Amino acid sequence: MTKLKRTVKDLFKARFAGQRLSAAERYLASAQSLEEVERRQRELMRQGF
C-alpha cells in the first residue's frame, strides 16, 4: 500500500509541475513586446521557474 501511495503522489506532483510549466509558457507567449517578455521572465525567475 505504501508503494502505491508513493506512486500516486509522484504522479500527482509530476502532473502539477507540468501544469505550472505550461501556464508559465502561456504567460510568456502572451507578452506583446520584448520588454514585457523580459519583465515576465524576471517575475517567473523570482517565483522559482
**Tens digit of pLDDT for each residue in 1-49?**
577 777 888 888 888 888 888 999 999 999 999 999 999 999 999 988 8
Helices (H), the chain: 2-29, 34-46
What is the pLDDT at residue 3?
76
DSSP letter at 10 equals H
Task: Tell if the pTM clears 0.75, that is, is over it.
Answer: no
What is the pLDDT at residue 7?
87
What is the pLDDT at residue 5?
76
What is the pLDDT at residue 36?
95
- Return all residues near 49 (Cβ < 8 A) that are at least 6 apart: 20, 21, 24
What is the pLDDT at residue 48?
86
Is residue 37 within 8 A of residue 29, CB to CB? The reply is no
